[in-house]
Structure formats: structure tokens, C-alpha cells
Chains A and B, each alone.
Chain A
Amino acid sequence: DAGVIQSPRHEVTEMGQEVTLRCKPISGHDYLFWYRQTMMRGLELLIYFNNNVPIDDSGMPEDRFSAKMPNASFSTLKIQPSEPRDSAVYFCASSLGGVNQPQHFGDGTRLSIL
């Protein structure tokens, strides 16, 4: 079975540019999570969705970050404008929800803002 698919795997862009990260969750999973990982702050939850609806976006760092889930099989995380401090690995995860359903993570997008 296909796991969580993220694209691109690597992104290098210049400060000020718009960045869009993409995620395809596992089919049938109704929870989707976006995380960011840096050496300084570790793995942080940014936002998560249930049935395509954002439930908790308290981890989104600022208004430059936005996330959408237009349907059950696709989500985007957008940064506009991007800044060097946004450089990190961004992970997407999905789950069936509930106590006994683990989160399944993608391989991440390594983002570098120059």
C-alpha cells in the first residue's frame, strides 16, 4: 500500500518567494497533520485537519503560513513570503483517528530558503 506521499522532496528557493508543499494522505485516513522539524525546535505540530476541516492551527508560526485541504486526498502548506528561518524539514502525516490509530508519516520535504 502507498504511504503518505509528499512533494517535492527537496526545495531550494530565494527569500521572498512563495513555497508550496504538497501531501497526499493514505487513502481512507480522515486526519492529516503538518509538522516542521528543525535542530533548534525539534518536531513541531503546525496544524491538523479532520475530514478536510482545520481543527487546530495553533502551531502555525505566523500569517505567512497557510494550509488547505480541498479534498480527502490532497493538502498543501504554503509559505508566502518565505524567509531563511523557514528552512526546515516539513512532514505530513495521516491517521484514521482515535486512540488506537497511529500516525503515518511521509518522508518529508527538506526546504532551504536562501
Chain B
Amino acid sequence: DAKTTQPPSMDCAEGRAANLPCNHSTISGNEYVYWYRQIHSQGPQYIIHGLKNNETNEMASLIITEDRKSSTLILPHATLRDTAVYYCIAGRGDTDKLIFGTGTRLQVFP
């Protein structure tokens, strides 16, 4: 599985867009980009995933660069409840094994 690099922490004002970057420069062709988040003392929660096209769901948008070496998770209107650790994972499509890194701790402030 490709290694991912994320900033350790970020801040975002409530109501603004939160843009969380992830570098995965060694990603291979059959590896997807997955995003999960973990709110304090809870289990991780799936957010979104993609292969090469941009994706959007009710929680967030995922923008993947054309060369697939990096991506950005966008929370369009961050709320205080979005304060969490966000994990970017590059995982193979033919297995179900996900390797969690250290993630980005997002703090949303009023």
C-alpha cells in the first residue's frame, strides 16, 4: 500500500470550507484514496473514496489531481462537530486491508 502524508493539524472557522490535503506520490494504478475521520473516543467513520475522478457525497468532496499523486478532502461548510482526526488512506482495490497513518487533526472554531 502506498504511504500517505498529511499535515498533523489544521484549523478552520465554523461555516468556512475545510480543505484537507493528502500526498500519496507513490500510489499505484489499482489503489484508491479513502478518507475516514475519528471523532474523539469514537470509532473511525467512513467519509468518501475515489480512484481518479473527483467524488462528492453528502458529507464531503474529494478532489484527486490528474497525476493522482495528491488529493484534497473538502468539507464545504465546517461545523464544530467536524472537529476530528481525518485519515487519508491509499488502499488496493483488490484487497480490503486499510493502513491508517497519523492523520490530520482538524479543529473547527466558532
Contact = CB atoms under 8 A, between A and B. Distances in A.
A98 to B, nearest CB: 7
Contact of B42 (A102, A103, A107): A107
The B interface is mostly helix, strand or loop, or mixed, namely loop
Contacts of A4: 43
A31 B41 CA distance: 23
* Size band of the interface chain B makes with A: 20 to 34
Contacts of B103: 42
B67 interface: no
Contacts of A106: 43
Interface string A42-61: 11110010100000100000
B43 A91 contact: yes
Q: Chain A interface mostly helix, strand, loop or mixed?
A: strand
Contact of B44 (A48, A50, A56, A105): A105
A35 to B, nearest CB: 8
A97 B45 contact: no
Contacts of A107: 42-43
Q: In the complex, which of the residues B36, B87, B98, B103 has the most CB atoms of chain A within 10 Å of its own CB atom?
A: B98
Contacts of A33: 96
17 contacts: A31-B96, A35-B100, A42-B103, A43-B87, A43-B100, A48-B96, A91-B44, A93-B43, A95-B96, A98-B96, A100-B49, A102-B34, A103-B98, A104-B46, A107-B43, A108-B41, A108-B42
